[in-house]
Chains A and B, each alone.
Chain A
């Protein structure tokens, strides 16, 4: 009976801990790996995936924050909603962006994102401005590997 009680206590604690972890990950911050080199050299300056950067993504920005030019954000792809990309905001609503041939105005409620490594980045130059509602969080710092720990400006 003592062991049953112990197991039940442990299960309860584990369950509560899991739920709290999920809530923190959804609403406060989480750590995600960066895949690909579209944000080189800011993120993943080498091409070796064993050394992929892990970054801290904060979610408080989804409540009250006004996004600014230069923020690195995680967002759902407008063409494949289950994929998530990490890119930098280079255009805010109302601004004009010069694309390859014409000048585009960023519509209200949208933003223009581009990767730092323009040669190898699938971004707004391909799929156009993205609604701010697709943004899932803001990258604040690199947390792994240890020698690359730094805040992202």
Chain B
């Protein structure tokens, strides 16, 4: 009887230990998840590049198994002054849930020559174009975009390993 009581006691303590362990692991996982979210929102995140509108800078091949993954820096949203040549991620002005990656080729106040006329980039906006002009949906179609749509600046390619490099400028 003494031994049976000991067994029950040991089992109860073991159960509590496992419960505590699961709780500890859950807390750590939750905290880790929240920290990961904050880092992704405010510091930097890695996103895949789809399509070939930025060929040959990104996705020089058409095979989507070899899509580039790039590091997008979000610090620039606080103090940075966007410069010509920066590659940025922005929400589409016509479909706000979609995001595009293009290069800034015109900053506020500059003149851009379009197909038929010359356009001045308004205050607070920028003119974006893809490097592969033949296959790019950009400001030549939807006009200059407000800087408020920009969600981050691409700093480097992180995948695949043979294409690892910093973006110039």
Contact = CB atoms under 8 A, between A and B. Distances in A.
Contact of A81 (B42, B92, B93, B147): B147
Interface stretch (A2-10, A19-27, A117-125, A144-152): A19-27
Contacts of A131: 91, 93-94, 96, 145-146, 149
Query: Which bracket fits the contact residues of A?
Result: 20 to 34
A110 B93 contact: yes
B102 to A, nearest CB: 14
Contact of B148 (A16, A19, A22, A81): A81
Say which size band chain B's interface belongs to.
20 to 34
Contacts of B10: none
Contacts, number: 70
Contact of B146 (A22, A81, A109): A81
B96 A133 contact: yes
Interface string B120-154: 00111100000000000000000001111110000
Interface stretch (B12-20, B30-38, B50-58, B155-163): B30-38
B41 interface: yes
Q: Is the interface of B mostly helix, strand, loop or mixed?
A: mixed
Contacts of B147: 81
B2 interface: no
Contact of A27 (B31, B37, B146): B37
Contact of A23 (B34, B92, B123, B124): B34
A73 B49 CA distance: 31
Interface of B: 31, 34-35, 37-38, 41-42, 90-96, 122-125, 145-150
